[in-house]
Structure 1
Amino acid sequence: MTVTRPRAEPTSPILRNVLRSQVKDVLMERIIEGHYKPGARLIETQIARELGVSQAPVREALRELESVGMVESYAFRGARVRKPTREELIEAFPVRAALESLAAGEAAGRITDDQLDQLEELIEEMESAAERGNAHEQAIANAQFHGLIVEAAQNRTLEKLWAFLEPGARTYLTTARAGVDLTEVAVRHRKILGPLRARDREAAAAAMREHLLEAGHWLEGTPKHDSSAGERSP
């Protein structure tokens, strides 16, 4: 006798969790890419219609994004994209430096030649964007550079911690502001790539730590009224 397994209904907990995660990823990327600007309303019905899902996974995704500080909700007014404070950004850099220096050290012993080539290509993309004065494109390549190093570390616990911190940490004062040399931003990443190519764990960890602490110090030196955020991190 053939036993027919019941089909999972669209409202099953497993499918709801998958949908929520997918919706969250889409919304997060749209916020980071600037599709949704700080202060922009996030309307559940509109998002659900655009993504072809019900409002339930959208509502759950917005709650998750609120828990990591990317969205804020108001009674009877819905959700909006949250703009992180300068103090929050400053606090994130030492934590990120600790995580990513560990990642760089681990990656130095495990990174593949293909991944090293990808890092080189990303630096070249940053340099090309700098020549064109395109801070947004440079910031995208910048974030991919850091994410690839975390991936190369092959440490799932570290990756989970970084994934939780990263959405807020990579929101950074725009590198397009006056006085910032986009070419220098790109060149600074070569100081990290060198030790990785040499498979030098200690040097790679030290280079990453210095890189992020310098970025944090630069942020501390910006005027308090200058809180323009939205580009990805260094």
Structure 2
Amino acid sequence: MKNIIHRKTLREQVADAVRKKILHHELEPGMRITESDLCSEFGVSHGPIREALRQLEQEGLVEYTRNVGCSVRNLSLNDIIEALLIRGTYELTAARACNGNISDNALQEMSDVLESMKQIDDSDYTESIINDNEFHKILIREAHMPYLVNAWDALDFATFFSFYRQKDDCSTVAGKQYGVHKKLYDIYLTKDCQAICDTIYTHYHASIAKMLSDNHMSENDFPFSFDILKP
């Protein structure tokens, strides 16, 4: 794995700090976020704060409302489950588009992300989310379908809020990342399209089933069918 030094800009550092405040429930869904408060807290000017909030808006974590300003996005469990189902179908589409023939370069990239998952501090939830999204996006890129990539990016918030809604401690969830994604990687190595699709289904179904169980809900509580995810 390459040793890369990441030098984060002030905007990125502020965005990271706000993400962590949301994950740690210091900023709750619907809570207003003001530039002035963040400037005072972080000791930086309005420019980087404004840029960071715009980045988080693009990621779907905060939203701007007329006459209200910026606030933490308030997503229902219905919203999160819908996004996860759609993301699962996108991955199935990508696997079929490349017929399971995932390139060696892509597999190496996945291996690098797995190494990051193995080495990361379990308490660093934001890095866990970044690794999770990056691992899955590598498969999406293998489809060589730009519209699919854009559609995938539009649902980046799904991973973040899945962590946020977990009943387990976030460090417990982060600690399981390597093993869960190593199973996906091992199947990708086979380049067996049907086996890959079956494993993608199992991966998403397990995550959604856990979320439903934690919230004492079932598929019947939703206005849409979960069958769209079947391989």
Per the normalisation by structure 2, the TM-score is 0.64
Structure 2 residue aligned with 1:158, among 148, 151, 173? Answer: 148
2:100 matched to 1:142?
Answer: no
Kindly report which structure 2 residues correspond to 1:69-80, keeping only aligned pairs within 5 A, or say none. Answer: 70-80=61-71
Query: 2:122 maps to which residue?
Result: 133
How far residue 98 of structure 1 moved from its aligned partner, in angstroms, is 0.9
Alignment partner, residue 85 of structure 1:
76
CA distance in 2, matches of 1:76, 1:157: 34
Partner of 1:207: 199
1:34 aligns with 2:26: no
Give the counterpart of 1:192 among 154, 161, 184. 184
Q: Distance in 2 between matches of 1:204 and 1:142?
A: 18
Distance 1:85 1:148 in 2: 28
Q: Which runs of 5+ in 2 are unaligned?
A: 1-10, 217-231
Task: Determine if contact 2:35/2:46 at 8 Å carries over to the other structure.
Answer: no
State the 1:145 CA deviation.
Answer: 0.6
What is the rounded CA distance, in whole Å, between the counterparts of 2:18 and 2:211 in structure 1? 19
Query: Distance between the aligned counterparts of 2:167 and 2:129, measured in 1?
Result: 10
In the alignment, structure 1 segments of 5+ residues that lack a partner are 1-24, 225-234
Q: Which has the higher contact order (CA 8 A, sep 6+)?
A: 1
Q: Is the 8 A contact 1:90 1:216 kept in 2?
A: yes
- Residues 188/108 of structure 1: CA separation in 2 closer, same or farther (3 Å cut): farther
Q: Which amino acid letter does the alignment assign opposite residue 189 of structure 2?
A: R
Q: Which amino acid aligns with 2:108?
A: D
The amino acid across from 2:197 in the alignment is A
CA shift for structure 1 position 211: 0.5
Match of 2:89 in 1: 98
Q: Deviations over 1:81-129 (max 9, x none)?
A: 2132222112222222111122234356453322212211212222223
Q: How many residues align?
A: 192
Relative to 1, partners in 2 of residues 1:157 and 1:183: Cα closer, same or farther, differing over 3 Å?
Answer: same
CA contact (8 A) 1:101 1:208 kept: yes
TM-score (norm 1): 0.63
